Amino acid sequence: MACSYRNTSDRMVILRCIGAEQFFLERVVFPFELLSFQCPPSSVVKIWTHGLGGPELVETFNAGDLLNEAPTQPAQPAQLEALASSRSYAPGLLDGELPWATAS
């Protein structure tokens, strides 16, 4: 599964993801940083921080809650429209002649 976690706090946190078949991922996530990662479907994600008394568990959730949303359709490139030259737009040009293609 492709997942993402954004640290919205003003403190550094540690993300630990534990999944099937001995899967283990541990990453430091800085404030406002976005971490993207791959993990098995049944993984559990835990967010830890350091407090005065040592490590503190902040959040626990399933990796399915962090799934990247795939776009419904791929982005289409912008369509460019050709501008037809006209005598009112560029007087003195022949029909079909483009103003930028004419040598001065």
Mean per-residue pLDDT pooled into runs of 10, the chain (104 residues): 93 95 95 94 94 92 84 52 48 58 53
Tokens (6 digits) for 50: 């350091």
Tell me, yes or no, whether 91 lies in a domain.
Answer: no
User: Could you tell me if residue 80 is inside a domain?
Assistant: no
- Check residue 86 and give its pLDDT: 44
Report yes or no on 33 lying in a domain. Answer: yes
Q: Is 21 inside any structural domain?
A: yes
Q: Is residue 13 part of a domain?
A: yes
The residues pairing with 37 across neighbouring beta strands, listed in sequence order, are 3
Number of domains within the chain: 1
In a domain, 71, yes or no: no
Apex 90 CA angle, 81 and 104, nearest 5: 105
Domain encompassing residue 35: 2-66
pTM of the predicted model over 0.75:
no
pLDDT of 79 reads: 52
pLDDT score, position 85: 45
Is 98 a member of any domain?
A: no
How many CB atoms neighbour CB 68 within 10 A?
A: 10
